[in-house]
Structure formats: structure tokens, C-alpha cells
Structure 1
């Protein structure tokens, strides 16, 4: 999982990482120095077996149960499940214990805790705005509840109009006004690359929403990436 690969690197474990997915784009040089074993939904089990890992890190949302069961035939598997900022702190602590880098993991948690407090002070007087956060087209899908995206939306004083419709619901554009009529429409840069015509098509189904292209990494990547996200959020609010 890309965000977990980045976290392992930031914990000083670069030399211990032997395999990554094709979506693990940070740090950039891993593309040429680490073995790619497939994607998050479909991996090459034989490639992984030949690498002889001591442990495999998976994620409940990104990887399927069937995949995890197959990987457990190769070596022990650690499965993360991150839906809240508190989950993120716990994952970093767990990695520190798992990989004997407790000092580094504590440093990261301290930095994140400080940045979180600072951001909460920044955001506390900001007006709460209704938002729809789009992640996919054909069918149109949005971020709902019980996921890290919604956690960060709430942190930013955004009320997700689809937070009562499941985790990643499919929606009908023509019903947007009835289902909450957002002040803001966010078009995430990943996993779907939305274009200007998508912004127009979605926006015309609201009364007055401002359509904004947002960096999906900042809203959906957990781990150490959250530190950069706080700065990104501040800059974003200044433009809204």
C-alpha cells in the first residue's frame, strides 16, 4: 500500500523493504530500486514468494481477504485498518514495535500530534461547509463514512453530505440537491483522474457549489503523509 511504503521509508527502514506495489510512488527512487509485485488488488504471488519476505504489510481496505489468505501461505501478514487519526497514531506505534524502530516512530507521532494541535487551532473558527467528495466516475462514487477521507473532511470543518450512505456509495447526480446540495464539490486526483468537463457536469446538478480539484494523496494517504497534509489543508482553505 503506497502510504504504508512511504511510512516505512520515513521510519528509516528503506534497506528492509524488498517489494512494493506499482502504485508505491513515494519515495520516487523506489521505482528503480525495489521489486514491484503488482497492484493492491492483484499481486504476483510467485514474485513475492521468491523475495522470501519475513513479513508482509497489507491493509483491510486496499487488499482483499482472499489475497491476505494466499499471502499468509508465504509468511506472516500484518493487516492495518485505518479510518481515524487515532488509528494512524496506533499504526505508527505498531510499526515501531514490529520493526524495532520505536524511537523513530515516537518522533513521528510527536511531530504529527504537534501539527494536529496546530491545525485544530487554525480551523476552529472556520465556517462548516457541506461537501461532496468524488472519487470515481462511471458510476459516480463518493467518499461516505467510516474511512480516512471522511475523518479528514470532518477535521477540516466539512460536513460530508453522503456520510450516511455507506463507505463509498454510488450516487446519482440528479439527486444531489435533495441529498444535501453541497457548498463544495471536491474532485479527487485519485483513484480517478477527473477532468474539467466532469467538474461542469457535476457542478450543474447543484444550486451554487464551487467545484475544486483536490490532491487525493492529502485526503486519503495516512502514515507520515499526514504531516504534509496539514500544510496543504491550510493553503486550500485560503483559496476557498
Structure 2
């Protein structure tokens, strides 16, 4: 009997390592694949787009907020992987009646390392998990050296329109902004505050306005609209996956961040 505690403190007991996995978190689906567990994945969400071929070979059981319970029951999973932010408490509670539900909670890079280690224990792939953590440790160290001489700039990171919403504190995105020497002007306004564009200059007057590709796909007209309310800020479209997807995606993110800083120099 193996006993493990997930990232929201729930104790799980397993006779053997789970072999039939449903993942309701796109970034963690990618991680499971990168840990060599493709054959054990039986169900995913419609948003699980990396690697793309999984949508052709695995059963899609809904989204991250709305799921098809009957489809999940029919798949007879040994475990469902959820995330505290991506999935609702109601979903977790419903699925717990079917099988164990492992919930991750990623706010910091350290949480990300812990999740990968946990998956190594949970799915008997400790060697692969350690390899990924070693690669990420090296990449993190390398990036910290790269960033140390880059000045800190004030930034606002937009994720939604109608109403306009930005990233605040206690979020993984905010941790990655800090790692990149971006000082989030909305850091003390809650996790995902709604804001008024006309107050942006008073609330921090950012040097940079980041418009994310997800969950809302910002367009040029949005950049123009937001730009009317900033003093001197540079508006930059950014890849939301690089800032918000945890798991193995972080390795690609470090390279992306270097390219982003090179773009900002021009």
C-alpha cells in the first residue's frame, strides 16, 4: 500500500500505481506525456492541445470547468488529475465518488518541482521525473544568471476583456513575472482583479502592458484601446502558455523569456 498526499493536503492510498489516468489539466496532460505515460492516459479535456495527436487518440471528456461525468465513468479511471485553479471544487467532489482525484496547486516554481516529484512517485516514473527536475533546475539557474543584470520594469498582465482583468498576486503567472524582473502593478489587488483602463496610470503607470494569448485572445484593436490609457507603456503580445502552463512547459518558457527580453531591448 502506497500512501501519498497531494498539493491540497488530501491523503491518497494506492495498492498499485494507477494505470488508467484522466487528466483535466492541459499543462499536466503535457507533463504526463513527457514523463512517458502516454499509454496510461485514457481521457483528456478539449483544451489539452499538446501534444496535438492526443486529441485524436484519447477520449475527450469535456473542458476544465464542465465535464461529462458519464463519459468519465465509462472509462473506469484509476485516477483523475485536477488542479485547484483550473477545475472547480464541485468537479473534484463529484469525481471523488468515482475514483481518487489528485489535485495539484501550483503558485511557485518550487510547487512545480514538487508536482513533478509527486507524479514520479505516483506513477512509478521516478527516474523520468528526476530527469525533468534536473533539466528545469539547470534551466532556472541559467535564467537567473541571464536576468540578474536586466533592470526591473513595472508591468500589467492582461488576461480578459469585458470586463478587463489582469493578473494579481498568489498566482503562478505573477511568480514568473517576478522571476523576469517585471514588477506587477496590480500585485496587491487580489488574484485576478477587474480593472478600469482610465485608472491604470494612477494605479501604477506601467512601463509594459502584456496582452496574453489566453484565456482571452487579445487583438491589435485591443492593444490600441488599452494604449489610449497608458502614458508611455510599451504594449506587447505574449504567449500565455509560457506564462501560465506549469509542468514540463517551463523548460520552453525559459528560452521564450530570453527571446522576449531581447525583443524588449529594441
Range into which the TM-score falls when normalised by the shorter chain = over 0.9
Q: Which residue of 2 aligns with 1:65?
A: 89
Q: Give the alignment partner of residue 105 of structure 2, picking from 72, 81, 106.
A: 81
What is the Cα deviation at residue 141 of structure 1?
Answer: 0.3
Residue matched to 1:136? 160
Q: Which residue of the partner structure matches residue 166 of structure 1?
A: 190
- 1:96-111 maps to which residues of 2 (within 5 A)? 96-111=120-135
Residue aligning to 1:14: 38
Q: For 1:47 and 1:102, how far apart are their aligned partners in 2?
A: 30
Cα distance in structure 2, aligned partners of 1:117 and 1:18: 35
Q: SS at 1:180's partner residue?
A: coil
1:205 to 207, 229, 238: 229
Q: Secondary structure at the match of 1:18?
A: strand
1:154 aligns with 178
Instruction: Please list every run of 5 or more consecutive structure 2 residues that lacks an aligned counterpart in the other structure.
Output: 1-24
Per the alignment, residue 178 of structure 1 pairs with 202
Distance in 2, Cα, partners of 1:239 & 1:63: 34
Query: Which whole-Å deviations, capped at 9, do the CAs of 1:4-37 have from their partners, x for residues lacking one?
Result: 0000000000000000000000001001001000
Measured against aligned partners, the alpha-carbon deviations of 1:79-109 in whole angstroms (never above 9, x if no partner) come to 0000000000000000000000000000000
2:57 aligns to what? 33
Question: What SS does structure 2 have at the residue aligned with 1:58?
Answer: strand
The aligned residue for residue 227 of structure 1 is 251
Map Cα deviations across residues 105-154 of structure 1 (whole Å, 9 max, x no partner). Answer: 00000000000000000000001000000000000000101011000000
* Unaligned stretches of 5+ residues in structure 1: none
Residue 45 of structure 1: how far off its partner (Å) = 0.5
> What RMSD over aligned residues (CA atoms) do the two structures have, in Å?
0.4
Structure 1: 4+ residue segments shifted above 2 A: none
- Count of paired positions: 240
Calculate the TM-score normalised by the size of structure 1.
Answer: 1.00
Residue of structure 1 in register with 2:139 after alignment: 115
1:203, CA displacement in angstroms? 1.2
CA distance in 2, matches of 1:239, 1:78: 39
For residues 36-59 of structure 1, the C-alpha deviation after alignment (integer angstroms, 9 at most, x for no partner) is: 000000000000000000000000
Q: Secondary structure of the equivalent of 1:113?
A: helix
Secondary structure in structure 2 of the residue aligned to 1:3: helix
1:187-231, CA deviations, whole angstroms, 9 ceiling, x for partnerless residues? 000000111010011111110000000000000000000000000
- Once residues 149 and 40 of structure 1 are traced to their aligned partners in structure 2, the CA distance between those partners, rounded to angstroms, is 18
SS in 1 for 2:62: coil
TM-score of the superposed pair, with normalisation by structure 2: 0.90
SS of the residue corresponding to residue 211 of structure 2 reads strand
